[in-house]
Amino acid sequence: MEEMGLADLVRHLETNTYGPFRLMKAVLPGMRERGFGVIINVSSYHGRIASPLCSMYCASKHALEALSEALRYEVGHFGIRVHVIEPGYIVDTALFEKGTLVGASGGDESSPYADFVRMLRENRGNLSGQFPLPTTTTPQVVAEAILHAIDKGDRFRYPVGPDAEAIIALRNGTDDRSFDLLRREDLHLGW
């Protein structure tokens, strides 16, 4: 986070929070007048669990989750449902190609975070198993989860993909201290 600028945060918020906010504001009056509607926001498991090197993305997805959760209470009595889709790693998307890497993440070896970034990248394939590595979940699986939420609407949040399902289930079943210890072990953090 230290190597990112305010413009980086605004860019993430613009895409992942402000854009959905504008869309929700645009469709709510019509849904309210009709007495029904469904709003689906695509978040990420990072909307509930922050990870190193993803602070801006995580912050914007946490904000989207909070907006969605509050909105579902505000508009439920109008017959409007709000759901959040929380994918893990999705293959065949341009997410990483479009991202802007700065500082150590962008290859700056003079950064005070260079060793940390290198260590995280080297250990990515050596995780303990508590937190599954990214999977090969496709955009089609996310689309199917969206359709399920529209058709059934049987819960507020829908984790999508084995990695998202596993880390969210572990987080939900673990107190903060225990989860932090597991996460530090998994990420090979020695402090």
Catalytic residues: 57
Contact 40, 149 (CB under 8 A): yes
Asked whether the beta carbons of 89 and 160 are under 8 A apart, the reply is: no
Distance, in Å, from the CA atom of 178 to the CA atom of 52, rounded to the nearest integer, reads 18
Residue linked to tokens 């209470």: 73
- What does the alpha-carbon distance between residue 32 and residue 13 come to, in Å, rounded to a whole number? 26
**Phi–psi pair at 133, nearest 5 degrees:** -65, 160
Q: What is the H or E stretch that residue 85 is in?
A: strand 80-87
Q: Which residues pair with 80 in a beta bridge?
A: 37
